[in-house]
Structure 1
Amino acid sequence: MSLDYNDYNYKKPDFDSRGPTRTRHSWDTSEVTLGTWIVVLILIAIPFVGFVVLLVLAFGDHNESLRNFAKATLILLVIGFFLTMLGVGCSY
């Protein structure tokens, strides 16, 4: 019976051409810094760019808090859009 390195649960470290890197996982629950929140809120305030930033944060591999914030904001934007369309349609 021949055993190879996988039989010993060998885990290869995460290396790229620049050396070891820290991989970010979707379950990353580390604290989001104040500076990150300021940058995110400024980017969201820019028309059209904000929508793209929300999509990237909501569906990308980012911190769990940022993902949940972006998803909640997108849901509120969609609800607001439909309520606005309903209001505009009923005003004629």
Structure 2
Amino acid sequence: MNYYNNENQNDNIDAHHQSEIFFGDDDVVSIGQWILIIIGIGIPFIGIGVAIYLAFGATNENLNNFGKALLILMVIGLFLAVLLGACSY
């Protein structure tokens, strides 16, 4: 009975490891990918879409975190722009 439980646990670990390899959770983001991401972020209005995709649609955890941080910085920048714009009147 104990052997059977250990065998199932190993199957679950192997299945999880295979899904990580398939979905690219641990892949390193290449220099070319970073260049394309930075160019995409720099294009007006498209950058917001790129940030949203990175935050919620990318399968790589590093890109997800980068996208979320980018959205937070965009919201802070928008808030400061509105605040400073209102103070200039």
- Whether TM exceeds 0.5 here: the answer is yes
Runs of 5+ unmatched residues, structure 2: 1-7, 13-20
Per-residue CA deviation, residues 49-78 of structure 1 (Å, 9 max, x unaligned), is 111011011001421111111111110010
Which of 31, 47, 51 is the matching residue for 1:50?
A: 47
Q: Is the contact made by 1:58 and 1:68 (CA closer than 8 Å) also made in structure 2? A: yes
Which of 66, 77, 82 is the matching residue for 2:79?
A: 82
Which of 63, 67, 79 is the matching residue for 2:60?
A: 63
Residue type matched to 1:49 in 2? I
The answer on 1:73 being equivalent to 2:70 is: yes
Q: Is the contact made by 1:58 and 1:66 (CA closer than 8 Å) also made in structure 2? A: yes
Structure 1 runs (4+) deviating above 6 angstroms are: none
Using the TM superposition, give the Cα deviation of residue 24 of structure 1 relative to its aligned residue in structure 2, in angstroms. 1.3
Number of residue pairs matched?
Answer: 74
Q: Tell me which residue corresponds to 1:24.
A: 23
Structure with greater helix percent? 2
TM normalised by structure 2 equals 0.72
**Structure 2: how far apart are the matches of 1:44 and 1:88?**
24
Bigger relative CO (Cα 8 Å, ≥ 6 apart): 1
Structure with greater strand percent? 1
Identity %: 50
Q: Is the contact made by 1:24 and 1:61 (CA closer than 8 Å) also made in structure 2? A: no
TM normalised by structure 1 equals 0.70
